[in-house]
Amino acid sequence: MPEYTVIGKSLPRVDGRVKATGEAQFAMDVALPGMLEGRILRSPHAHARILRIDTSEAEKLPGVKAIVTARDTPGIRFAFVDTPGHPADEYPLAVDKVRYVGEEVAAVAAADLDTAEKALELIRVDYEPLPAVFDPEEAMKPGAPAVHDEIVPTTTSAWEDWGAKKKTLPYKVVNNICATTNIAFGDVEKGFRESDYIREDRFVAVATAHTAMEPHVAVASYNPAGSLEVWLSSMGNEMKRFWLAKTLGIPISKVRVHKTYVGGAFGGKINLFAYEFLASFLSRKTGAPVKIALTREEVFMTGRTSHPMIITLKTGAKKDGALVAQRMKIIADPGAYRGTSPIAMFLAHIFCPPIYRIPNMAHEATAVYTNKSICCPKRGHGNPQARFAVESQLDMIAADLGIDALEIRLKNARESGEVLPNGDRLNSCGLKEALTRAGEAAGWKQKRGRNNGRGIGLGVASMFSGSAVYPFGSAAVVKLDLDGTATLFTGQIEFGQGADTAMAMIAAQELGLRLEDINIVSADTELCPIDMGNYLSCGVFVSGEAVRRAAADARRQLLEATAKVMKVNIEELETRQGYVRLKHTPKKSLPISEAIKGSQMFGGSSIIGRGFKEALSNIGFAPGISRGAGRFTDAYTYTVAVAEVEVDRVTGRVRVSRVTTADESGFPINRMNLEGQLDGQAVMGVGDALFEEVVRESGHILNPTFAEYRIPGFKDMPELTSIHVEAPDPGGPYGAKEAGECSRSAVIPAIANAIADAVGARIHSLPMYPERILAALEEKERSTGKTIAKS
């Protein structure tokens, strides 16, 4: 392996100082001259028709600058997914009826927050309550309350008579079904007939919150000349920019998203939100900057959750444990609007074939509207739900066949070089090594099967590296400065995961500079090249490779110019630790600053490197009907998690004592950041497995603050051990792949399997509350007729 001077080290983060000193500017910190405060009136009903909105009294209140309802807006729908089969279905303000508690009805801009709040109290809304439906299985039944009827495509304004103009046909909603995904390969029924053993189980994953420490905030300033500047809590500036331009009816070139630091995202800050549009629209209406900051209750209410899923899983195997066939049926609950449900259901499948060889698979998924708040990606996006089901059932299959749970995984695990059913090739795959090393480090053979209140369990997950599922790549620019430093321009967003540090380290390594020699300009759509944003695990693999190529281009230009000055062949030169030097005579060197000056003197131009990471040409992202063909990534990442638990059989309480993760994410750009990602996901998985759930009653969230919604605290922290399996992938910068999403999906089923190992009873629903564990123990006692020993 090459000797690297920058990457592969545990270097301090480039944003560490500004965050430690409080200099880092978050969206909440933005204060513009004459800025107004915005507030949003929300629906108290889960489902109701809006009969009348009276804003007259609120408009008389001194300090109120503007009040808007749906009829004041352009009436353009928006969404994460907007295709002919899945047209956008959200409005920034409710039109005619509300579909969930907390939906936006009106918005106010006022001189201060108190005035804005008072104005909301003075707005009178007459509602006609309608029957609501909260269970997706009930919502699918004929005669259930219709959450939506017909949806107008976004090409038409809501205020146009689309029925008469016949521009496009509306999307008809039947039985509240808003999306379906059907994927198959092989012959599943034949596979079941050839299996020696078949079992079928039902699993339930609930809605959980993202719980980012920073609430959602938007500051917007509309210029009379027609341009809009916004400061957002975001992880996808180009997507926000696109939809702001579309919904406001202005050119995208007129929308600038400024860089702000982001206090956590975990998938929950990708989509355009209504409050972001409303801040922008109110700014245009008033001619003044407007800030809208959601309260923590509003974030829980409307900031979106993970996708609840009901998963029915049927799997066939041979007596020796070889998996033969599998059918997964999913009923997803996206809430009152489609959100990202087509993608979540699609991803729940595509993360399965890369792990185990199952020659015959069928995936049938249905998303069903309910009168609940909207769902969006959460760290894994469909993968955690699917892995909970698959890994839990695999343990049950192993037990029934008398095979060790680790051995059955090793038997079926994929290896490097294999071609997946969709055509993706595993250019790197360290799954078997990860399984072996994780098992050894956790003491699997010594601890598995005690069944005395202590248990150990396995979970495995895969994740793709790089968002090739979208038909565009990422770009970066590197400019060399006269003092021997470099300025990197990248559209990547720093939201706590270390993106700025990783991009700067890649640039420094490629240029032969120190990390402190890189000045980074990121996440500003006016200054930086287009970048899809850091989601779908595209950060290092896609954008990082664009940065490497831009730095390589700059280095090439520098060496070409220096070769002329030194009168040598360019092949004889290299850059290292701030110098251009002869490879075989290192003492003959020139400081990079002098080389840059020489380049300008003899070359006559600045050195500006450009890099672009292209998308795949044969994209198979089709969250509808597919035979499993079509590629969607260049590389896959794997994580194996082993969890150890202690279960109190009297109270049902669980303590996760240790989590060992073996992560195969290619070459680590920053080892400390990688460990932070793995540890953070492990702790998040503890919450998912044991106690996190957004609890509702008649559509109202009962735990909308951190006082009621429990997340892992200090006392819940297990001992964490991270093992890095290096399987560099040729498609990523220096072989790096994804590291931010995979581990969580493995930890959740590992805990579930550890609990089953500890008590001998299986929990099929998340989270695994003490009551559910006790109920499973009682059911086991009834079925076996034996009294379970208490300890």
| Tokens coding 23 | 């200099």
Distance CA 448, CA 446 (A): 6
Alpha-carbon Rg for the chain, nearest whole angstrom, is: 27
- Alpha-carbon gap, residue 469 to 615, rounded angstroms: 8
Partnered with residue 258 across adjacent β-strands are: 231
Beta strand residue intervals within 130-240, DSSP E: 150-151, 171-172, 177-185, 197-205, 217-222, 228-232
Q: How many residues does the chain have?
A: 791
3-state secondary structure string across 135-154: CHHHHCCCCCCCCCCEECCC
Tell me how far apart the alpha carbons of residues 376 and 393 are, in angstroms, rounded to a whole number.
26
Q: Which two tokens stand for residue 608?
A: 């500006």
> Which residue in the block uniquely carries the two structure tokens 């399997």?
753
Closest CA to 303 of 259, 335, 279: 335
Helix, strand, coil percentages for the chain (3-state, nearest 5)? 30, 25, 45
- Tally of CA atoms within 13 A in the half-sphere of 314 that contains its CB: 14
Listed residue (302, 330, 336) closest to 390, CA to CA: 330
CB 738 within 8 A of CB 668: no
CA angle 694, 303, 23 (to 5 degrees): 120
The token duo for 777 is 């123990």
Name the strands in the sheet holding 719-724, side by side, starting at the edge strand that comes first in the sequence.
454-464, 636-647, 654-664, 719-724
Measured CA to CA, the distance from residue 548 to residue 505 in angstroms comes to 10
Neighbours of 251 (CB within 10 A): 10
Interatomic CA distance for residues 491 and 547, integer angstroms: 10
Whether the CB-CB separation of 639 and 745 falls below 8 Å is answered with yes
Helix intervals (H) in 567-615? 592-603
Q: Is 614 a catalytic residue?
A: no
Of residues 741, 771, 778, 781, which has the active-site annotation?
A: 741
Catalytic positions are 741
